[in-house]
């Protein structure tokens, strides 16, 4: 009796999620995300592709950390021949995308100027099924605009990433998640000198039907992984106390 | 059988002046130019010509004949400019029109006349259009451009010369009609050859010896033995569709229907030939003689009519149809082989070759302009700014590999911004740097990575790059320009931000 009840509830929950536009539950890209704890934050422990994610940044350093994190995320689900569209790409250095597992020649960089052009292009790109991911630099994203983006991705299962640099206000949007990425100290093997793998503190400020929280991750050359932050913290402690 | 129409403007420049100043219509006037210190008549209008004044006379003589004659200035290159414009306008009658100096144009009417219901109505239409504009013209249609030209200018009655009868039509015309050098025609008259018919009867070697090869060529061209190539004012396009409208089109809906119809015809033809469009020009010929046009480009050869229409759609409203468009034409200015559709069929995950991607980029190009869409290819260069280049086309395959062995920042500053640093020992990573007033203490660093200029073609100092991480965990790419110098100010720069 109990079993059937939980089954029914589970099924109803799935249906509600699907109705809410959580499209990754309907056959999407296989996500090579391994066992990242950040996936627990999302419904059904799956990274939601076919949705729009929103990233808040404050400084240029934050923006670069965010761009790197987005590139790392994209490469976890990008098919071998996948195409990425990057809207408002001023300053992005294409060859660097290769380090995050994206072939830079598969990325189209578009430079719209007017706000209406940005909206039109992001929407069109999200609606295109042949495009795997769309990254857009879009500071003032209103609720209505984000709703339109959500409607666009629901048809195509394309994943959108909107970078909002210093938005005037953190208004509510229809995006599935709101992230804030900051860089953290990198660590190298056996404390060798030099700069190690890029490491981030990825904070999920809001997740629709999920759990907000902070996750520390790093890009280990070819995959995203949970970083052994405990060890680093202990080492840091040792260093301070001598 | 080829058919040509020659249009001869009897008073080209004078008519043009009258069009600008209708008051000049009934008074005699000439256009004059100063040649070697004396005024010479270049052109005279009909009224003046009836009084015996003609081109080549001095202005003083003209004044003696007609004391009150008006002398107007002859603008430089007027004739060529006028003829060029008229020839472009005349494209509504045939795709191939050419300027034919002096004072004429030639139309290649092959296969065009049936659209007007035959040779006679075709010629009549052209005549009416020119006369209603105010040009005094004589027209002739014949099998060769030379024959049409000579009949229009020299025959007693111009008009249609039936197919195959052009030689007879030229029999009684004077040799001047062949556009020969003045000395040659003079020689012909001296020899007693006063008509073309007499020339034709002469054995060719005899004529060639006396007149030169050039004159024989002209004669052969007029007779149709040798082909005469016209130099069209607008090069003919291989893929073109035309839609003449019986009534003038002034509405947006009308233009849309015309465009859809033309696209459908052009696309079905291209599809049969396995080709696609790269560039398209949609043109409307307006009743007032102006043309309006829209041009689009695609990233990949396409024969998808709906997609091409959607590229035109946002700009259709910019076409000003007043006072009405009488002819639409759609020209493929760039055509490529279309195999993309097949490739997409084999492979569901077509990626870059996917038709949807190229159509998306086409639409974006129509919205924001092609110059703001970029795709990059790796370049064999170590200098960071030159390590990638714009791909010339959508299809360009990537030669070489993207480098994965060096770390590059994801955000770059262009140009690099100067910073002040504190470095303990030369060639060691700095201890701290100050950027925009904020002090960053460096905790970890990699480097230096020395990158040299391309010394064989460029001058300038090398750069020593360091990857550094500051106390807050932010990662930067900084470099020192050239060797370490004690007094070297402005030596250090911030170039980028790592993820």
Tell me how close the Cα of B419 comes to any Cα of chain A, in angstroms: 16
Averaged over A49-69, what is the pLDDT? Answer: 92
For B302-348, how does the pLDDT look when each residue is reduced to its tens digit (9 = 90+)? Answer: 888 888 888 888 888 888 888 888 888 888 888 887 765 444 444 44
Q: What is the ipTM of this complex?
A: 0.85
Q: How many helices and strands, by DSSP H and E, does chain A display?
A: 5, 9
Q: How do beta strands A107-110 and A83-87 pair?
A: parallel
Tracing tokens 């003689």 back to the chain, one arrives at B289
The residues in A 52-71 lying below 8 A from B, measured between CB atoms, are: 60-61, 63-65, 67-69, 71
**Confidence class for position B494, pLDDT limits 50, 70, 90:** very high
List the single residue in B355, B377, B475 with the smallest CB-CB distance to A198.
B475
Decide if A86 touches B, using CB distance below 8 A: no
**Confidence class for position B79, pLDDT limits 50, 70, 90:** confident
Tell me how close the Cα of B362 comes to any Cα of chain A, in angstroms: 11
Pure H helices in A128-223: 143-156
Judged by CB atoms closer than 8 Å, whether chains meet at B409 and A96 is answered as yes
Tell me how close the Cα of B434 comes to any Cα of chain A, in angstroms: 15
Average pLDDT of the residues of chain A = 83
Q: Is the pLDDT of residue B24 over 70?
A: yes
Cα B423 vs. chain centroid, distance in angstroms? 60
Q: Is the pLDDT of residue A190 over 90?
A: no
In terms of pLDDT, which residue wins out, B394 or B14?
A: B14
DSSP letter for each residue of B249-303: E-SHHHHHHHHHHHHHHHHHHHHHTTEEEEEEEEEEEETTS-EEEEEEEEEEEE-
Confirm if A111 and A136 have CB atoms less than 8 A apart.
no
Q: What percent of chain A has pLDDT over 90?
A: 37
Among A66-70, B21-25, B281-285, name the one with the lowest average pLDDT: B21-25
List the single residue in A65, A79, A94 with the smallest CB-CB distance to B388.
A94
Pure H helices in B100-165: 119-133, 145-154
At residue B351, the pLDDT reads 65
Averaged over B132-139, what is the pLDDT? Answer: 88
Whole-structure pTM value: 0.67
Which residue in B100, B105, B85 sits closest to B19, CA to CA? B85
**Confidence class for position A181, pLDDT limits 50, 70, 90:** very high
- Dist CA A92 CA B188 (whole Å): 78
Which residue in B42, B46, B70, B71 sits closest to B57, CA to CA? B42
Cα B3 vs. chain centroid, distance in angstroms? 26
Q: How many Cβ pairs closer than 8 A exist between chain A and B?
A: 179
**Rounded to the nearest 5 degrees, what angle is found at the Cα of A93, between the Cα atoms of A90 and A98?**
140
Contacts of A83 in chain B (CB under 8 A): 351-352, 354, 357
Judged by CB atoms closer than 8 Å, whether chains meet at A95 and B403 is answered as yes
Among A21-30, B153-162, B246-255, B366-375, name the one with the lowest average pLDDT: A21-30
At residue B343, the pLDDT reads 44
Q: Is the pLDDT of residue A242 over 60?
A: no
**Confidence class for position A173, pLDDT limits 50, 70, 90:** very high
Contacts of B398 in chain A (CB under 8 A): 103, 105
Cα B85 vs. chain centroid, distance in angstroms? 14
- Dist CA B398 CA B358 (whole Å): 17
At residue A52, the pLDDT reads 92
In terms of pLDDT, which residue wins out, A38 or A73?
A: A73
List the single residue in B350, B398, B410 with the smallest CB-CB distance to A96.
B410
Q: How many helices and strands, by DSSP H and E, does chain B display?
A: 15, 21
The residues in B 419-478 lying below 8 A from A, measured between CB atoms, are: 443-446, 467-469, 472-475
**Confidence class for position B211, pLDDT limits 50, 70, 90:** confident
Decide if A91 touches B, using CB distance below 8 A: yes
Average pLDDT of the residues of chain B = 85
Structure tokens at B123: 């010629």
- Count the alpha carbons within 13 Å of B438 in the hemisphere toward its beta carbon: 10
At residue B486, the pLDDT reads 62
The H or E element that residue B203 is part of is: none
């Amino acid at each position: 009796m109990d079993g059937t009840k939980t089954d029914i509830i589970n099924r109803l929950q799935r249906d509600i999620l699907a109705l809410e536009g959580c499209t990754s539950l309907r056959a999407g890209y296989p996500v090579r995300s391994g066992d990242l704890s950040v996936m627990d934050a999302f419904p059904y422990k799956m990274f939601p592709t076919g949705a729009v994610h929103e990233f808040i940044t404050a400084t240029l350093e934050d923006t670069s950390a965010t761009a790197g994190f987005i590139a790392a995320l994209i490469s976890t689900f990008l098919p071998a021949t996948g195409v990425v569209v990057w809207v408002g790409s001023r300053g992005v250095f294409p060859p660097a995308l290769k380090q995050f597992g994206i072939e830079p020649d598969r990325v189209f960089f578009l430079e719209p100027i007017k706000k209406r052009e940005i909206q039109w292009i992001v929407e069109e790109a999200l609606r295109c099924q042949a495009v795997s991911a769309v990254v857009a630099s879009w500071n003032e994203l209103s609720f209505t605009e984000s709703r339109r983006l959500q409607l666009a991705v629901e048809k195509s299962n394309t994943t959108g990433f909107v970078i909002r640099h210093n938005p005037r206000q953190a208004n509510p949007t229809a995006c599935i998640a709101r992230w804030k990425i900051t860089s953290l100290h990198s660590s190298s093997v056996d404390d060798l000198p030099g700069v190690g793998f890029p490491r981030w503190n990825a904070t999920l400020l809001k997740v629709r039907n999920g759990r907000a929280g902070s996750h520390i991750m790093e890009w280990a050359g070819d995959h995203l992984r949970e970083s052994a932050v405990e060890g680093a913290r202990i080492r840091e402690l040792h260093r301070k106390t001598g | 059988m080829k058919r040509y129409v020659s249009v001869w403007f009897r008073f080209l420049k004078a008519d043009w002046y009258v069009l600008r100043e209708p008051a000049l219509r009934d008074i005699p006037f000439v256009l004059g130019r100063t040649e070697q210190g004396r005024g010479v008549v270049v052109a005279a209008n009909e009224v003046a010509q009836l009084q015996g004044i003609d081109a080549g006379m001095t202005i003083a003589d003209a004044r003696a004949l007609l004391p009150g004659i008006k002398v107007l200035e002859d603008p430089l290159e007027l004739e060529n400019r006028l003829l060029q414009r008229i020839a472009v306008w005349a494209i509504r009658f045939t795709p191939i029109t050419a300027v034919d100096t002096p004072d004429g144009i030639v139309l290649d009417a092959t296969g065009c006349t049936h659209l007007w219901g035959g040779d006679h109505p075709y010629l009549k239409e052209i005549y009416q259009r020119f006369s209603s504009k105010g040009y005094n013209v004589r027209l002739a249609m014949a099998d060769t451009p030379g024959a049409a030209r000579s009949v229009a200018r020299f025959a007693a009655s111009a008009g249609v010369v039936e197919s195959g009868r052009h030689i007879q039509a030229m029999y009684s015309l004077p040799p001047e009609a062949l556009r020969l050098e003045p000395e040659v025609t003079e020689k012909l008259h001296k020899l007693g050859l006063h008509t073309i018919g007499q020339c034709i009867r002469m054995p060719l070697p005899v004529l060639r010896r006396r007149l030169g090869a050039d004159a024989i060529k002209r004669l052969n061209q007029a007779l149709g033995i040798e082909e005469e190539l016209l130099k069209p004012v607008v090069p003919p396009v291989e893929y073109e569709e035309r839609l003449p409208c019986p009534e003038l089109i002034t509405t947006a809906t009308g233009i849309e229907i015309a465009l859809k119809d033309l696209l459908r015809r052009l696309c079905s033809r291209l599809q049969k030939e396995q080709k696609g469009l790269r560039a398209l020009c949609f043109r409307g010929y307006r009743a007032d003689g102006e043309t309006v046009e829209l041009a689009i480009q695609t990233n990949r050869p396409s024969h998808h009519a709906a997609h091409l229409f959607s590229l035109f759609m946002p700009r259709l409203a910019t076409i000003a149809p007043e006072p009405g468009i009488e002819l639409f034409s759609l020209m493929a200015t760039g055509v490529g082989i279309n195999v993309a559709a097949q490739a997409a069929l084999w492979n569901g995950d077509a990626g870059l070759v996917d038709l949807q991607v190229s159509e998306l980029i086409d639409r974006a190009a129509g919205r924001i302009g092609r110059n703001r869409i970029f795709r990059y290819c790796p370049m064999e260069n170590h200098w960071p700014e030159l390590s990638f280049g714009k791909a010339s086309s959508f299809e360009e395959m990537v030669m070489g590999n993207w480098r994965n062995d060096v770390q590059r920042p994801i955000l770059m500053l262009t140009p690099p911004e100067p910073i002040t640093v504190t470095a303990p020992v030369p060639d060691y990573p700095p201890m701290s740097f100050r950027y925009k007033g904020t002090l960053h203490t460096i905790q970890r660093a990699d480097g230096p990575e020395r990158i040299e200029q391309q010394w064989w073609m460029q001058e300038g100092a090398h750069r020593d790059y360091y990857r550094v991480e500051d106390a807050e965990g932010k990662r930067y790419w900084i470099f020192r320009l050239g060797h370490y110098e004690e007094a070297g100010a402005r030596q250090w720069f911030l170039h980028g931000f790592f993820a």
